[in-house]
Amino acid sequence: MSESTASSDTVLLRRGEVHSPADPFATAMVVERGQVAWVGSEGAADAFADGVDEVIDLDGALVTPAFTDAHVHTTATGLALTGLDLSDAPSLEAALDLVREFAAARPADRVLLGHGWDASRWPGGRPPTRAELDRATGGRPLYLSRIDVHSAVVTSALLGLVPGGGGLADAPLTGDDHHAVRAVALGSVTSAQRAEAQRAALAHAASLGIGTVHECGGPEISSEDDFTALLRLAAEEPGPRVVGYWAEQGDEGVARARALGAAGAAGDLFVDGALGSHTACLHEAYADAGHTGTAHLDAAAVAGHVVACTEAGLQAGFHAIGDAAVTTVVEGVRAAAEKVGLTRVRAARHRVEHAEMLTPETVAAFAELGLIASVQPAFDALWGGEDGMYARRLGADRARTLNPYAALLRAGVPLAFGSDSPVTPLDPWGTVRAAAFHRTPEHRVSVRAAFTAHTRGGWRAVGRDDAGVLVPGAPADYAVWRTDALVVQAPDDRVARWSTDPRSGTPGLPDLSPGGDLPVCLRTVVGGRTVFLRPDAGGAAR
């Protein structure tokens, strides 16, 4: 949604809890011409009641800034919502049953599309063979991406559509082989199917209180048509804002990103792959494989891209998960700073997506170079812990170093939270909970800090310091929530108390203790315009 389509109505919200640093005890808010005009107490709200176009009785509901999901693949998310989702399949046999049922239910699809399998969570730990998939689909083309989207299994019929595909191994495909089969599979999606998927994804995001998504596209991920169609749809129809990043390298990538309307030549510009697929690039070999993963860019290529983006006034950004890949990014950005100046590099707010395997040295380098860490706390919730996928891939000692959010914040590194959907679901409060109750206690941050990273942090990651917070003059992007009593919450004594002392007047947030219910979104507003309204919202719906 563009700024020009913001609502011109004046709205008073009252009789609730408004999460605002302007007034930690605010119960009311006025929105005018798509911006927050005032926040304050219930008594003062009476002065506005007769001069507004609409009054919303919050009936005790909580109002917060809308969330920003800083890393989304929108069309793939929509296809997962409307297509075959294997993320909950408990075994290989169950996954094959779901494939069989899906194929039977979609006789007209030229290519069957599915996502989300994770053999590391299945008994036996084995992905499906091509022959098993051929039988389950009755010999039809099928593309099934692994949960991390860095590998896929396919049928023989799909390989028949790929030039030279007949010689590919009967194993999960990675790297260029994966890109080739993905291009054929996604190329089968019609423009109508694509628009349906994009609308489904954005509507789902809005229903969760997400007001902005950062779309991470690129030539190895989607297509130019997919990218521009999404930006056009978001600009023309009510819904979450979409900020687009196009992951293409060097001067040509910068020119293409600018032509496509992207905020940067960034996002999933791959320096390496993913841990689950054994393609993240490591300094030391995997604990369960005799190699160190896959490197796609070296420090010189990173430096060249950062220089090109900095001189063009665009953000650069890289996908880097393994410690060797993160080191490559740091070395490349530092070399770029030596060429164009550290001040210019810091001002550009270049991004690193995922940044999972960090060391104290690379954390310090992120702070020095002004890099934004665009991270996904749900990864730890899904794969962390003593018995998780990280520990199997890396061994318990290395696994415990992953996703060190507290260290990043202590060093002054800006965090922007996201989901990498469809890798993990759109789930903003679940994401905040995952960071606050990280499986490794020393990496935990306060709920307040995690919430900030998922609201204001996403705006700061696109160069906006005036948004993602409910204060006068900020964009009126907010969500209304049904929730229990508000608290000022730290998960344990390892989290700094300066940010969580109730005496500081810090506005409260929902209790996100594990096992409890998460808040329910009643209304989502972007630029003053309602883009989601829950049918059973009660007073907040009026």
Report yes or no: 64 and 209 within 8 Å, Cβ to Cβ: yes
Report yes or no: 130 and 153 within 8 Å, Cβ to Cβ: yes
* Of residues 355, 390, 177, the one with CA closest to residue 276: 390
Q: Coil, strand or helix: which one is 117?
A: strand
User: Which region, left, alpha or beta, applies to residue 362 given φ > 0 means left and ψ of -120 to 50 means alpha?
Assistant: alpha
Rounded Cα distance between 90 and 95, Å, is 8
Residues 224-279: pLDDT tens digits? 999 999 999 999 999 999 999 999 998 999 999 999 999 999 999 999 999 999 99
Q: Which two tokens stand for residue 237?
A: 């129809």
Burial 323-354 (b: 16+ CB within 10 A, else e): bbbbbbbbbbbbbbbeebeeebbeebbbbbbb
- H/E run at residue 354: strand 351-354
Q: What is the pTM of this model?
A: 0.90
* Residue type at 470 in one-letter notation: L
* Residue type at 277 in one-letter notation: S
Rounded Cα distance between 326 and 408, Å, is 14
* Residue type at 393 in one-letter notation: R
Peptide bond into 535 cis (omega under 30): no
Cα–Cα–Cα angle for 321, 324, 329, nearest 5°?
Answer: 75
Report yes or no: 266 and 351 within 8 Å, Cβ to Cβ: yes
Rounded Cα distance between 488 and 23, Å, is 15
In this predicted structure, what is the pLDDT of residue 187? 87
Rg, the chain, Cα only: 23
In this predicted structure, what is the pLDDT of residue 538? 65
Report yes or no: 475 and 35 within 8 Å, Cβ to Cβ: yes
Q: Coil, strand or helix: which one is 405?
A: helix
Report yes or no: 345 and 334 within 8 Å, Cβ to Cβ: no
Cα–Cα–Cα angle for 53, 59, 64, nearest 5°?
Answer: 80
Burial 110-142 (b: 16+ CB within 10 A, else e): ebbbbbbbbbbbbeeeebbebebbbebbeebbb
In this predicted structure, what is the pLDDT of residue 41? 93
Rounded Cα distance between 421 and 426, Å, is 6
Alpha helices in 423-522 (DSSP H): 428-436, 447-454, 456-460
Q: Coil, strand or helix: which one is 337?
A: helix
In this predicted structure, what is the pLDDT of residue 83? 84
Residues 333-369: pLDDT tens digits? 999 999 999 999 999 999 999 999 999 999 999 999 9
* Of residues 524, 522, 512, 506, the one with CA closest to residue 24: 506
Q: Please report, for residues 357, 448, 479, the alpha-carbon distance to residue 433 in angstroms, rounded to integers and kept in the order given.
A: 21, 10, 18
Alpha helices in 298-446 (DSSP H): 299-312, 323-340, 342-348, 360-369, 377-383, 389-394, 396-399, 405-411, 428-436
* Of residues 533, 540, 531, the one with CA closest to residue 241: 531
Rounded Cα distance between 378 and 430, Å, is 8
pLDDT per residue as tens, the chain (542 positions): 444 456 778 999 999 999 999 998 999 999 999 999 999 999 899 999 889 999 999 999 999 999 999 999 999 999 989 889 999 999 999 999 999 999 999 998 899 999 999 999 999 999 999 999 999 999 999 999 999 888 999 999 999 999 888 888 898 998 889 989 988 998 888 898 899 999 999 999 999 999 999 999 999 888 999 999 999 999 999 999 999 999 999 899 999 999 999 999 999 999 999 999 999 999 999 999 999 999 999 999 999 999 999 999 999 999 999 999 999 999 999 999 999 999 999 999 999 999 999 999 999 999 999 999 999 999 999 999 999 999 999 999 999 999 999 999 999 999 999 999 999 999 999 999 999 999 999 999 999 999 999 999 999 999 999 999 999 999 999 999 999 888 877 666 555 443 444 445 678 899 999 999 999 999 999 999 999 999 977 655 44
